[in-house]
Structure 1
Amino acid sequence: MQRIDAATIARRYFDPDLTPHARTPDTLDRYLRAMLDDLVQLALRNGSAALASHLKASIKQHGSAKLTAVTLRMVEQASSLAAAAPSPDHQVGLWFRPLVTKRLIGEGIDTLGRLVNFCNSHGGSWWRSMPRIGPHRARVLVAWLRRHEKDLGVTIDADVDTRPLTPALGLGNVVVIGGSIDAPQLAPFERLAIPTALSGEHGTNRARDFAFIRAEHDLSAVHAYLNRYRDRPPTLRAYTRELERLVLWLVIVRGVALSSMTVEDCEAFKDFLKSPTPTFVGPKRPRSSGRWRPFATNGLAPESQAYAVRAIRAAFAWLTSVRYLAGNPWHAVTDPVTVSRETQVQVERALPDALWTTVRAELDARCAGADLGGFTPNADEARQWRIARAAILLMGDSGLRRDEATHALRENLSLAQIKTKRNAKKVVKMKSAETNLKDDPKGGEEGAGDAEPVAVWALTVIGKRRKERTVPVSGAAIAALRAHWQDVGRDFEGPGARGPLIVPIVINGTDASIAKHGDDPAETGQAASAPYAPDALAHLARSAIHRIAGELLGEGVLSHNAHAKLMQTSAHAFRHTFGTRAVAREMPIDVVQRILGHASLQTTSIYVHAERNRMLNAAAQYYAGDQD
């Protein structure tokens, strides 16, 4: 009606992969004309007599109804009388545009009922995990759901909007924490303000001498302490988590300022760590969400409780040393009782060799856009699969932690030439030690060939405790990185190749994302300027594995046990996969230790299953003898 050509309409409003009628301008033109005819027929049946008479006259004169902007609105109003009401079991594609439908289905939201449940469970930040669903589009979707609450038979929660926080007692995004234990007003440190009475300005444990920090109240003093770790993000996150839990508990539950804590308060907080109040507990949410809670739903293990006490004790010790506090009450508090475990690393999370091979083959197929049982990933999906593959191979073939994979840089990746001995093997001789040394002065190596150079990619990363180490990178991982760099328009082999090895292709349209990455790479055609956040990259890898697990189970390729194994797989499991496979292939244990960056060889030794299996086998024979 507005004289826009069909090609422009197809490009702006339709996705050819989801709507076959929009693949060419001619097919779309026929589709739109048929849509208009359907609207006219509905208007003839449901509209007024005057409108019906006008439409019939136009059809008689022109062969089809010629509508003006005014008559088009009249036709739309009349045809809407025959429209169906939305229902919770309706597919989202019946009501939303194809591009929106595609993003929702990608998150497993295929019906209106599931969309409502997803919004209610995630709150105002529900849209952040979905590519190309920004705050404006999210606001439109929520407004539509609210208009149809009566038809859907469900209610959208009041805080499902696009605002980061809705403070009841705050100014802007700053929240003055308080409220009751049953209905607390909570906020993370960066948005938190403490009531004046509990600010600690006149705390009973404040030192009377000159203080070495300019802190007028407790929150300022805590920030001064945390500022010491500004160059160590993982440590900063951990200490911030423990101290904000303490501050929130002190103000809301205990009603005591941090600088007025006594030993009795410390012991009470230890008990609180064992069983936090339900209103302090919730699923993981962004810190900008009004539904953020300081404790996760699965509670704190004894080891985590002990860590919290040690972290708080260290913070109080520093505040005492800079003469902000007169003394440290946590010195009189013992750590929670923990059990010294046989193994500190959950190696059972590692993927078996056959399952790891299957996962890699499935990743390659999806990255190549292969036909997967009637489903072929489109270009955008294939690019996302290539990001996931690069991350998974860096962790699974090089033993990197997710934080290390996130911050790995191209300038720290190089091709090294090393020399190896061809056909070298050890010959064990059944002789005495003296005979061995006399007959085999080279330590038992025979048949060693000439040294020949071998090229190996090496990556230098900064690991835990800010320790630098170098890890090998497989050829498959290098190929995956090259494919990812090609997707973002960067030259992996160029002389000036620098920057993060893995960067986003699509970002959320939030101010924080734009400030970190620049404009949306999908819109500008330029690569993002910053890497993923560790949690975001881990979520991408985990989602990829879960999709593979679901599809292979449906095809009958996976057993239920293998499916359960993949569904429990986290990003850290790929690191364990490398450790177990390296030991199984007889890589020296000290080499595995250096690659994984373990401080103790004892930690690495848990990957050596041979000794444990030998013990269990001997025990089984012993018990079998009792049965005889």
Structure 2
Amino acid sequence: MVEVLVTRQDAPVHPTKSKARPERKLHRGHFAFMRALAQGLDERASWDRYLRLEGEHADLKTVRRTIAWIRDAFAAAARREHKPGTARLILLDPDRFAAAPALPTLAEFALARGLEDFSEAEQIEAYEAAYSSGSVGGRGGQGRARPSRRARVIDHQLQALRWLEDLVVQDPRPGDRVAAWLNPSLAARLERAGLPTLCELVKRINGIGARWWVQVPGVGERKAARILEWLRANESVLKIKVGDHAGVPRAQLTPTALAAVVPEATALVPYEKFVLPSGLDGQEGRYRAPPAKCLIVAANDHEAIAAWLASKRSGDREIGELSSTQRSYRKEAERLLLWSILERRKALSSLAVEDASAFRAFLADPPPNWCGPRHHQRWSPMWRPLEGPLTPAALRQSLIILRSLFTFLIGQGYVVGNPFAAVTLPPQPQRPPGSSRTLTFPQWDHIDSLLHVETEPGRRLRRGMRWLYATGLRLSEITSVKCEDLEPVDYETAGGGVATGWVLSVIGKGGRRRQVPVPAELVDELENELARHGFERQVGVPGNQAIHVMARFDAGLEKPPPWSASGLYQAIKAFLAQAAAGLEGVDAQQLRKASTHWLRHTRGRHALQGREGQAPVPIQVVHSNLGHASVGTTSMYLTTEARRADEGDAGVGASSGVRRKRTSPGEGGAGS
């Protein structure tokens, strides 16, 4: 048993800086562990069974500190009940008292004393005379000595622990602070991560899933597993449930499992989970057209929106698979539907011009409970329809899309008017595409030089960055293409020879298919990754055709899942922020603001501009590769470049590379 030094009774075991810090509470595991110690059960097994949340048993400092705190807490509770004797009893170490020697059986005693031929009554009489221990009953029975002081101390301690447990043990409640139930150092880390209560902790776990702990510095996978185990053991008293998805890696969860995380409700949930309440579903909408003349099969406003979204489906996509345009349109209709029911208390088909104006003001200043980070996916309870107030450009786009929605509904005979037609749009921003959202050649070279981490996530990030830059694909396009979309082509070189290259078949906006050239070295890298993870090296073999170019090979599945658009976006944003850390001035500012779409703009500008060793690409080719609807859109990159040259900033860092942070004399030395 671990030796315990009992501290002075009026001294706090865990001093904290804040006097407002809640007192740690005793739970049944503390009592079960101390009963096990008192009875001499295996300490390590008892720790792992009852107090695993406190840390590893191998950490003797934690074990000693925890046992000392538990004993002090027990004694303090007894003193509060005016039981000073019980307080002292709990602090006694039974090992200080010797155990009584074991007595022989009656048969052993008789044999040792030469009494085996005497009657049993005579043997018992001699036994009692020898040991003065009371009667010994039963043929061949075991002698029972008077219990030792150690045994009496243990018995009294167990009785005291049972009494104290019934008196002080509490069940955890959702609003309790984590510091009341968890190890102080662990609780402090959770609090610093914005998780002060058990309720907030469970919400975070359910909202993010199995890797929730990544966002909590100092809490690794093992500590997170212990927390999850404790929360699940207390689900019945907490009345809040940790979802089954929280114990399974995200890549291994099926769409059905994810869909079950958030139930359907009339609340701030995504469009597909939103339940229209009776009376506000639009069946009796104020501005509904006569149902007999309606051209769509829609019994309510939710189904009318679904019909509108379906009308935007491209011919090559499967039913239920939304294009980027459909997702963008759904987002705007979703916000309006939620606001109409939850805030305005009106059916969508009952909205008037005044309501449309109020919604415009709402988007410019939404309440905090409507807002959340973009990276929370639609299956998550932490998903919210907005990130914050819309910029003028985003607000203008939203209102234009909603005008389109009602124009469609009017055309199909569902409603009689368009409330958004009378709402003033914010002015059109006068900014050509990519005017301030492109990178210079030195900036890109700096980024490319940092893409060298040789792990699966590092190689996948490198693949995503280089493919986006080399092809100019949109985020939704790069995450949807597969090996089967790659095709080798032969072309004539400048010297008259024949070489093999690659083209990628992409379905872009409006369902338009285009062929985009891909550098051979990028395909080579992809084939190396396939071979590294046990697949055939050639991208074109039948077994590889369904594998996404942006596959997550670290998922450990037979068919690697694709990297999600949000996952790729967040990874690139985080990487660019790190890349900016070593720079200063405009270069650092550009990289901190940059995103996946900047790489598309950068590709267009760099292709048209050309650089040493690379001739400019004809504008018609760039227009085709980027999938612009009009060559005029592509030509704006030329206008942008000319304007930047006139302003003198066309080559930020071009003469001497990107501008790195200056070092102090002590950091760099002479000549640095």
TM > 0.5: yes
**Letter paired with 1:319:** L
Q: 1:162-209 deviations in whole A, cap 9, x for unaligned? A: 4899xxxxx9954543xxxxxxx4222122112212222222222334
Q: 1:425-466 deviations in whole A, cap 9, x for unaligned? A: xxxxxxxxxxxxxxxxxxxxxxxxxx2223322211111222
**Equivalent of 1:504, from 545, 548, 552?**
552
Deviation at 1:386, TM superposition (A): 0.8
Cα 1:490/1:129, change in 2 over 3 Å: same
Cα 1:277/1:453, change in 2 over 3 Å: same
**Equivalent of 1:208, from 275, 281, 290?**
290
Distance 1:206 1:222 in 2: 14
- Tell me the equivalent position of 1:394: 467
For 1:240-255, list aligned pairs within 5 A: 240-255=330-345
Distance 1:54 1:352 in 2: 82
For 1:155-234, list aligned pairs within 5 A: 162=243, 173-174=262-263, 176-177=265-266, 185-210=267-292, 211-228=294-311, 229=313, 230=320, 232-234=322-324
Q: Does the CA-based 8 Å contact 1:239-1:311 persist in structure 2?
A: yes
Q: 1:360-409 deviations in whole A, cap 9, x for unaligned? A: 22212x12xxxxxxxxxxxxxx1110111111111011211111111112
Cα 1:268/1:40, change in 2 over 3 Å: closer
Distance 1:44 1:137 in 2: 22
- Tell me the equivalent position of 2:655: none
Cα 1:505/1:257, change in 2 over 3 Å: same
Cα 1:53/1:597, change in 2 over 3 Å: farther
Cα 1:396/1:539, change in 2 over 3 Å: same
Residue 141 of structure 1 pairs with residue 185 of structure 2: no
**Equivalent of 2:422, from 314, 323, 333?**
333
**Equivalent of 1:302, from 378, 388, 392?**
392
What number of residue pairs does the alignment pair up? 457
**Equivalent of 1:583, from 608, 612, 633?**
608
User: Match of 1:247, SS?
Assistant: helix
Distance 1:303 1:613 in 2: 22
Unpaired runs of at least 5, structure 1: 2-31, 58-69, 78-85, 97-109, 148-156, 166-170, 178-184, 368-381, 423-450, 507-520, 619-628
Q: Does the CA-based 8 Å contact 1:489-1:527 persist in structure 2?
A: no
User: Match of 2:490, SS?
Assistant: strand
Deviation at 1:490, TM superposition (A): 1.9
**Equivalent of 1:527, from 559, 564, 569?**
559
**Letter paired with 2:448:** R
- Tell me the equivalent position of 1:603: 633
The more displaced of 234-243 and 213-222 is 213-222
After TM superposition, the score normalised by the length of structure 1 is: 0.62
Residue 470 of structure 1 pairs with residue 561 of structure 2: no
Distance 1:42 1:314 in 2: 64
- What's the % identity of the aligned pairs? 25
After TM superposition, the score normalised by the length of structure 2 is: 0.58
Cα 1:132/1:613, change in 2 over 3 Å: closer
Distance 2:222 2:289 in 1: 51
- Tell me the equivalent position of 2:448: 360
Distance 1:291 1:34 in 2: 37
**Letter paired with 2:622:** V
**Letter paired with 1:464:** K
- Tell me the equivalent position of 1:349: 437
**Equivalent of 2:94, from 7, 25, 50?**
50
CA RMSD of aligned residues (A): 4.6
**Letter paired with 1:601:** V
- Tell me the equivalent position of 1:538: 569
Cα 1:256/1:575, change in 2 over 3 Å: same
Distance 1:192 1:527 in 2: 32
Deviation at 1:467, TM superposition (A): 1.5
Residue 592 of structure 1 pairs with residue 622 of structure 2: yes
The more displaced of 188-197 and 261-270 is 261-270
User: Match of 1:193, SS?
Assistant: coil
The more displaced of 352-361 and 401-410 is 352-361
- Tell me the equivalent position of 1:566: 591
Q: 1:59-86 deviations in whole A, cap 9, x for unaligned? A: xxxxxxxxxxx9xxx9xx9xxxxxxxx9
User: Match of 2:356, SS?
Assistant: helix
**Letter paired with 2:507:** I
Distance 1:332 1:614 in 2: 41
Distance 1:610 1:213 in 2: 48
Distance 1:490 1:195 in 2: 51
User: Match of 1:198, SS?
Assistant: coil
The structure with the largest alpha-carbon Rg is 2
Q: Which structure ranks higher in relative contact order (CA pairs < 8 Å, sequence separation ≥ 6)?
A: 1
Q: Does the CA-based 8 Å contact 1:286-1:292 persist in structure 2?
A: yes
Distance 1:41 1:255 in 2: 57
**Letter paired with 1:203:** G
Q: Does the CA-based 8 Å contact 1:541-1:571 persist in structure 2?
A: yes
Cα 1:313/1:477, change in 2 over 3 Å: same
- Tell me the equivalent position of 2:25: none
Q: 1:523-564 deviations in whole A, cap 9, x for unaligned? A: x5x232x422211222233333444555xx3xxxx4465444
Cα 1:278/1:40, change in 2 over 3 Å: closer
Unpaired runs of at least 5, structure 2: 2-55, 72-90, 102-153, 162-176, 215-219, 247-259, 314-319, 611-615, 650-672
**Letter paired with 1:565:** Q
- Tell me the equivalent position of 1:318: 408
- Tell me the equivalent position of 2:481: 408
User: Match of 1:324, SS?
Assistant: coil
Cα 1:221/1:254, change in 2 over 3 Å: same
**Letter paired with 1:225:** W
**Letter paired with 2:625:** I
User: Match of 2:493, SS?
Assistant: strand
